[in-house]
Structure formats: C-alpha cells, structure tokens
Structure 1
Amino acid sequence: MPAPISTSQRSPRQLRRAGTTAFLTAALAGSLLAPGLAPPADAAAVAARALHVAAAQSGAPYQWGASGPYRFDCSGLTFYAFRAAGRRLPRTAAAQYARSRHISAASRTPGDLVFFHTGRYVYHVGFYAGHNKIWHAPHTGARVRLERIWTHAVWYGRIA
C-alpha cells in the first residue's frame, strides 16, 4: 500500500478541494443536527449534492450565459449543479427564484439558493454554504468562489 501523501506534497487544487470537502461536511453536519431546521430528507440530499457539485467548480471562470461544464455565469452554476444532482431548474436567476420555495433567512440551510435583488428584480443567485457564505460565479473577470454574503438585499429559496 503506498504511503499517504503529506500536505506539503499536495497540489494547491488538491488542498482547495480538501478544504472544500471539510467545510461542506462541517456545514452540512451542523444543519442536519438541528431538528426542525433541516429540509425534508430527499430535498436535503439533492441540495447537498448540488452544493458539492457547485463547490467542485471552484476556480472555473465566469462567462455570461455559460452553464458549464468549464465556464459559468451565476444561474448557469446553479442550473448545472442541480442538474448534476438530478433536478431540473429554469436557466435564469429570476426564473429559478420563481420556481423555488421561498424561505426565511432563519430557515436557510446549506444548499439553499440565495437570490440577490433590487426591489422586485432578481439579478444574481448563489448557493448558501453556511456561516453567511455563498458559492457563486460573481461577474466577468472573476472565478467561481466561496464568498461572504455582502448585502441584506437577499431572498432565500429551496428547491424541492
């Protein structure tokens, strides 16, 4: 049996993926240990798979209108991740918001969608990752990344 690879021998991508896996495991475990706050089992499993797929795209470049597998815009990332997890979503952020079950910030769990809005206009979407952070494809020139939610002008939705 080969010797395990030490942390110093791992590539930056391997370390990033290991960190992502550890973060997702901790975030999902924390949400599932609070009875009553977790979504139904099937929806939670699909959301967890979709969140894992989205996080695995870390570093992929943003491209307006792209829905993977190598480039994404915000709604393209959520579309791609849920499709890989076995759920079909509409393609745009506004249509995804209309399709989701709207939930409060207190009810959000990792894998729920975070919709950014101005008035009634939804302009951006990402995956809630726990600890007030999201996985998203932010804008032209950026890459898929984990980032703190920077505004209170958000709505939350759950895909059943």
Structure 2
Amino acid sequence: MTTDSNTPQNYILYRTRALGWQAVGYVIVAMQLTAEQATGAPAGFAYTLDTAGAYPDGSLYRVPATAYALSGAATATAGTALTLDLTPDNYGPKTETLVTLSDGGAGGTFSSGTVTFGAGIKTPQAVTYTPKAAGTVTISATNNGGLTDPASLEIVVNAAAAAAAT
C-alpha cells in the first residue's frame, strides 16, 4: 500500500521544550493527519509520524538527538589527564554515530580518539585527554551521523611543575 500526502496517517504532536512537568518529548496529542496538515507546529512543539501508533496522549516520545555538546576544563597542566564529556542533546541519534576527537596536531593523547553514541540512547560519553606541552590547545569533535558538531573547546595548558631538587 502506498500513501500520498492526502492520506491520513498517525501523527503525534510533542514538546520540543520542557514546560513545567511536561518534559521534552511529552506527547500532547496523537491524531490522524495528512502530511500537509502535519506542518507548522507552534513554537515549542513538533509533529512526527507515528505509523505504529506507539505514542498515546501523555506518553513520552524519545526525541532523537540533532546535536551534542563537548565540555571539559578550560585549564590543564601538561602531562596531566583531564576529562572531556560528550553529551547528546536528546535521546541519541537515530543510528549509531561515531564521534572523532582531535587536538589539531598539538601532540596530546586521548584515552580513545573516538566515542560512540548508541542509537536512541541519551548517555554521555567521557574520554581523557593528556596535553603534551604548555600553550593553548583546541579540541574539536566531528561525527559521521549528521549531528551538529559542537564548538571547539580551547584549553590553556600550563607547564608541568619542575621536580624539586634533592
């Protein structure tokens, strides 16, 4: 069976911004609409196709991620590891997505140069980064799943303290 834009199908209207006790993904209403009717949702809401009718009114739709954040300390010491966190903005991407980290050739080391966001999973991922030398290092992240990449993270790296003479 094929459908066209005039064939009513199951859609849901859900929140894209939390309001009070209604979280992002809260289903306001499930309804039958044509594709043309399921456009122009008010600000803070979105329509999505729910062919299986899996999301009744009041349920929680697991909104797929469209972006992710990169965070960590703004300062570090050469030779000392710091933790970097990568966090999807919603329930992970629609498909498993590989994120690759870079320090722009500064020579530092990552505990893992890549992290994986599981499909539909809202789990932050952490890696450690050990800067090699004093200076400013720019950490960037790119992905293979179509998510919007975060802004680069600049870290000011201080020289390691000199060992005390005995």
TM-score range, shorter chain: under 0.3
Between structures 1 and 2, the one with greater strand share? 2
Larger radius of gyration: 2
Between structures 1 and 2, the one with greater helix share? 1
Name the structure, 1 or 2, with higher relative contact order (CA <8 Å, separation 6+): 1
